[in-house]
Amino acid sequence: MKCRIWRTQVVPDRFGDYERFARETSLPMFRSQTGYRGVMMAGDGADRVVITLWENDDAIAALDASPTYRETVSKIIATGFLTGDQSVEVYDTHLSDLDAIRV
């Protein structure tokens, strides 16, 4: 399994807009992708991270090439509620206890 971490910042008075976008647009888009295994969205102050889990490198490559993913990226940029730089990191996962997660 692979872990993909997207980091960004949100304009402080736009957190509600960001949360709505995440629930109504990003989450359904992720769920529609082949090889998707789960997501966790977190933040502290303006900093936000989206941690997605993927079956393998091919699933991440498919996400990056996906028209629905690219459309979602265009939409979130157009909202104006992101600020600062965005970055993506990808890691191999070597240990997980996903059954223990209760949010």
29 or 103, greater pLDDT: 29
Domain edges within the chain = 2-90
Asked if the model's pLDDT at residue 103 lies above 70, the reply is no
pLDDT digits over 28-44, tens only? 999 999 999 999 999 99
Token duo for residue 53: 């889990």
Helix (H, G, I), strand (E, B) or coil at 40: strand
What is the CATH code of the structural domain delimited by 2-90? 3.30.70.100
Question: pTM for the whole thing?
Answer: 0.89
DSSP symbol at 101: -
3-state DSSP percent of the chain in helix, strand and coil, to 5? 45, 35, 20
